[in-house]
């Protein structure tokens, strides 16, 4: 006769002794699974719809994530959603370093690079000014301006990780993501047409498109839709903007820490290294140096590019699922104002400089 007392059924585990007996490592990994599975299914749906209808995958991921917002009520999904929106994002920023080399930036030339710095600074300032004029929080304007100035959704995600949810809540962050994604899709469609109507040269059109379109894929795609030469210029200009992501994150982090410490009345405003250079920015710089000094295999660069796109898609979907829909719907259309203003400023200044080249 079999003795069942040594292996009690699951239903008899009234106080969780069986769960407590599981290895801690297994338990810690399994807790991410439910949220990651939901995000992965949403990502696959977004990829399929993007291939079928030609709609930007980030926009579809954002909309699908918002549609799945109700699942956020299930607390079992929280670890996986947090991992997708935070850890995967940071891994994506690190791997982004494989797509950039110092030679690409130097090939741009001092004149073009100087123009980019002016444009990016003016765009970020215009975002904060627009937020103040529209009676919104300045941090909301900084987030919109930084996303527009650097590299769209990926910059918005990275900046938000520095600014923090206490300064820009989840609903306003989602509004910035939605506005940036729509603006970037609009720009990819119409900026090449505007450049053609103005009869810009390939170099001028490439600079305009690379300096003003938010997301990397849309900027490069818009450039190549004009011409191959314009596409190459747009790619270099856009990647130069992406290379400024880490320095700007460091600058924003330093300023916010100093302001916070002064507000709290602390006399010691010294910053720890991890506050100035979080691990993912150190990883980004290391990979930029590696890709600049060693010819990485094309297959490895391609794999890293896909991982970057995938991690950003996961982060966008998870952030959308975690959004407070009630808070999101409570915002008026004027909340998109900083994104609209920064988009217009970016285009106007990029066109002005492009006409000079």
DSSP 8-state code for residue 214:
S
Task: Return the closest-CA partner of residue 143 out of 259, 312, 256, 235.
Answer: 256
Q: Answer whether residue 105 shows pLDDT above 60.
A: yes
Q: Say what the pLDDT of residue 296 is.
A: 87
Q: Say what the pLDDT of residue 26 is.
A: 60
Q: Which residue has the tokens 């979907």?
A: 317
Q: Answer whether residue 58 shows pLDDT above 50.
A: yes
Which tens digit of pLDDT belongs to each residue from 161-177?
888 878 888 888 888 88
Q: What angle do CA 147, 356, 346 make, to 5 degrees?
A: 15
- Gyration radius (Cα) of the chain, Å: 23
Q: Say what the pLDDT of residue 55 is.
A: 80
What is d(CA 172, CA 323) in angstroms, rounded to the nearest whole number? 9
What is d(CA 161, CA 253) in angstroms, rounded to the nearest whole number? 10
Confidence label for 264 from pLDDT (cuts 50, 70 and 90)? low
CB atoms within 10 A of CB 151: 27
Q: Answer whether residue 9 shows pLDDT above 70.
A: no
- Separation in Å, CA 285 to CA 96, 156, 257: 10, 19, 22
Confidence label for 327 from pLDDT (cuts 50, 70 and 90)? low
Which residue would you say has higher pLDDT here, 101 or 76?
76
Which tens digit of pLDDT belongs to each residue from 64-97?
988 898 998 899 999 999 899 888 878 887 888 8
What is d(CA 16, CA 88) in angstroms, rounded to the nearest whole number? 32
Q: What angle do CA 289, 303, 156 make, to 5 degrees?
A: 70
Q: Answer whether residue 17 shows pLDDT above 60.
A: no
Q: Is 138 exposed, middle or buried (0-12, 13-18, 19+ CB in 10 A)?
A: middle
Which of 9-18, 32-41, 284-293, 337-346 is predicted with the least confidence, judged by mean pLDDT? 9-18
Query: What average pLDDT does the chain have?
Result: 82
Find the Cα–Cα–Cα–Cα dihedral 344, 342, 333, 256, rounded to 10°.
Answer: 180
Which residue would you say has higher pLDDT here, 344 or 223?
344
The whole-angstrom distance between residue 354's C-alpha and the CA centroid of its chain comes to 26
Q: Say what the pLDDT of residue 120 is.
A: 94
What is d(CA 56, CA 65) in angstroms, rounded to the nearest whole number? 14
What is d(CA 36, CA 34) in angstroms, rounded to the nearest whole number? 6
Which of 69-83, 121-135, 313-327 is predicted with the least confidence, judged by mean pLDDT? 313-327
Q: Answer whether residue 213 shows pLDDT above 70.
A: yes
The whole-angstrom distance between residue 313's C-alpha and the CA centroid of its chain comes to 9
Q: Which residue has the tokens 């900084």?
A: 142
pTM, two decimal places: 0.73
Which of 36-40, 138-142, 182-186 is predicted with the least confidence, judged by mean pLDDT? 182-186
Which residue would you say has higher pLDDT here, 99 or 11?
99
What does the pLDDT average to over 268-278?
54
Q: Answer whether residue 18 shows pLDDT above 60.
A: no
What does the pLDDT average to over 240-266?
80
The whole-angstrom distance between residue 266's C-alpha and the CA centroid of its chain comes to 32
Q: Answer whether residue 127 shows pLDDT above 90.
A: yes
What is d(CA 85, CA 315) in angstroms, rounded to the nearest whole number? 4
Q: Answer whether residue 16 shows pLDDT above 60.
A: no
Which residue would you say has higher pLDDT here, 291 or 104?
291
Q: Say what the pLDDT of residue 22 is.
A: 52
Share of the chain above pLDDT 90, in %: 30
Q: Say what the pLDDT of residue 274 is.
A: 54
Which of 86-90, 182-186, 216-220, 338-342 is predicted with the least confidence, judged by mean pLDDT? 216-220
What is d(CA 315, CA 352) in angstroms, rounded to the nearest whole number? 35
Cβ proximity of 216 and 236 under 8 Å:
no
Q: Say what the pLDDT of residue 212 is.
A: 94
Q: Which residue has the tokens 């999101």?
A: 328
Q: Phi and psi dihedrals of 131, rounded to 5?
A: -60, -40
Total residue length of the chain: 357
Q: Answer whether residue 6 shows pLDDT above 50.
A: no
What does the pLDDT average to over 253-273?
66
Which tens digit of pLDDT belongs to each residue from 279-311?
777 888 899 899 889 888 989 989 998 898 888
């Amino acid at each position: 006769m079999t003795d069942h007392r040594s292996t009690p059924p699951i239903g008899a585990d009234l106080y969780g002794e069986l769960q407590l007996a599981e290895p801690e490592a297994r338990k810690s990994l399994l807790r991410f699974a439910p949220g990651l599975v939901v995000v992965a299914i949403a990502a696959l749906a977004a990829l399929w719809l993007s291939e079928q209808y030609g709609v930007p995958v980030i926009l579809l991921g954002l909309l699908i994530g918002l549609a799945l917002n109700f699942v956020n009520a299930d607390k079992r999904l929280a670890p996986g959603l947090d991992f997708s929106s935070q850890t995967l994002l940071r891994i994506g920023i690190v791997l982004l370093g494989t797509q950039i080399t110092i030679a690409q930036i130097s090939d741009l030339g001092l004149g073009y690079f100087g123009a980019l710095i002016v444009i990016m600074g003016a765009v970020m300032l215009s975002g904060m000014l627009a937020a103040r004029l529209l009676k919104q929080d300045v941090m909301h304007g900084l987030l919109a301006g930084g996303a527009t100035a650097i590299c769209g959704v990926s910059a918005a995600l990275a900046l938000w990780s520095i600014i923090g949810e206490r300064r820009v809540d989840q609903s306003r962050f989602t509004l910035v993501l939605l506005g940036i994604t729509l603006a970037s899709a609009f720009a990819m469609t119409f900026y090449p047409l505007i450049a053609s109507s103005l009869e810009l040269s390939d170099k001028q059109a490439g600079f305009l498109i690379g300096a003003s379109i938010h997301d990397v894929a849309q900027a490069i795609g818009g450039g190549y839709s004009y011409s191959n030469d314009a596409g190459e210029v747009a790619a270099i200009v856009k990647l130069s903007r992406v290379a400024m992501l880490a320095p700007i994150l460091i600058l924003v982090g330093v300023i916010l820490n100093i302001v916070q410490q002064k507000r709290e009345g602390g006399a010691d405003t010294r910053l720890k290294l991890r506050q100035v250079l979080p691990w993912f920015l150190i990883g980004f710089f290391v990979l930029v140096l590696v890709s600049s000094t060693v010819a990485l295999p094309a297959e490895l660069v391609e794999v890293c590019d896909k991982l970057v796109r995938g991690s950003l898609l996961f982060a966008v979907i998870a952030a959308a699922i975690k959004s407070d829909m009630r808070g999101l719907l409570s915002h008026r259309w004027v909340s998109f104002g900083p994104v609209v203003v920064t988009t217009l400023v970016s285009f106007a200044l990029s066109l002005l400089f492009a006409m000079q080249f």
